[in-house]
Structure 1
């Protein structure tokens, strides 16, 4: 997978630079965490990150720091012209089989209310009325649109039987107060498979959009 992301995708985007760095790991551990803003290590011990995963069958997994890779593509005329400027945090895939691949966006918030508070630009204009949740969906969608530019990589990704765009979030205050009772539904996004929500743009590209809190997401 490294070659597809590092070289084939770069070539498809008409980027002359060749010193593209790929930060990836292969693991087969049962439980691990990932972090929104990672340090030196991509994979973290259970209960130490912002998103948690349960690799129940101990499959060998390929985990790519997609954000780090995508940042190195800037500036890119093809992506800029298509307004494909956002990116998610990680790409996860079964290394040997073709059972599952995941594009993962991770965020943190004090509480549930903070996930849906509108995000404004420096001038005070609303960019994302739906807050971090809306922004996360855009980051996941544009990550798909980016890799779709490379036929070989996109064909490989589309060959997985389960294709998931996963929005993971961790709250520092998990209590439910009166001010955010209208978002009560979010407090139940704790199923090990995440909660599926409709997203037509993501679905058009052959992926399913799911959200999950800090509950370990089951990779099976």
Structure 2
């Protein structure tokens, strides 16, 4: 390999890692927005971190062959740190600060998703070799979003938060939208439409369209049904 080409590959590899790390910066911006009471801004940040950075850094890392070019740097560990911040800590803080759980029990409920998600992130079987998540993939940002825009009853939020925390530990296989091969084009295509719907809903705040919220739930339903069907099929 020529020296110039090797330098170019290392620069590209470091650029991908920097892109992944930028998700942590976005996560802190989200926390600052939450502190200011700017929940819409926080959701925009979460959508940027999850829908853009997290969606593209994996394919770019494989394209740049970061594990070969920079074997001394663990990009997977960096990705997990950033994901735990943006998919768990930020939305859990928002759920508490936006009063999406009863004030009397919120501080006692939120440790459950924090702890179960920490366990699942560190488990060696968190992702299967054929690209499935094991256990509910800690999509707390999505739950926080629908609690907020859907104005669901606080008692429902309590029950569903505890249920989802338990499901993190249940070893059901959930599809990895960008990598699970089964129906991947359909999953990605519907995911793009769903993300567009979420952007419109955020833009409509504080009075989003109830019908658009209801229609947007079709994608999470599709994701869950397909995941359960694939799990039982592989069993």
Query: What range is the shorter-chain TM-score in?
Result: under 0.3
The structure richer in helix per residue is 2
- Which structure has more relative contact order (CA 8 Å, sep 6+)? It is 1
The structure richer in strand per residue is 1
Q: What TM-score do you get using the length of structure 1 for normalisation?
A: 0.27
